[in-house]
Amino acid sequence: VYKVHPEHKKVLALISEYAEKVTAVDYEK
């Protein structure tokens, strides 16, 4: 079983947050 480290969870959260912002910008166009 692959375990995600807390640090990795932080990074994944930042990436998903950034992705949401990017897609939100795309929707505004």
Q: Based on the structure, what is the number of domains in the chain? A: 1
Q: Given a cut of 70, is residue 8 above it in pLDDT?
A: yes
Please state the rounded mean pLDDT for residues 9-29: 84
State the SS3 of 1-29.
Answer: CCCCCHHHHHHHHHHHHHHHHHHHHHHHC
Q: What is the mean pLDDT of the chain?
A: 82
Domain coverage including residue 13: 1-29
Please state the rounded mean pLDDT for residues 13-25: 87
Helix%, strand%, coil% for the chain, nearest 5: 80, 0, 20
Q: Given a cut of 80, is residue 17 above it in pLDDT?
A: yes
The per-residue pLDDT for 5 is 80
Is pLDDT larger for residue 2 or for residue 3? 3
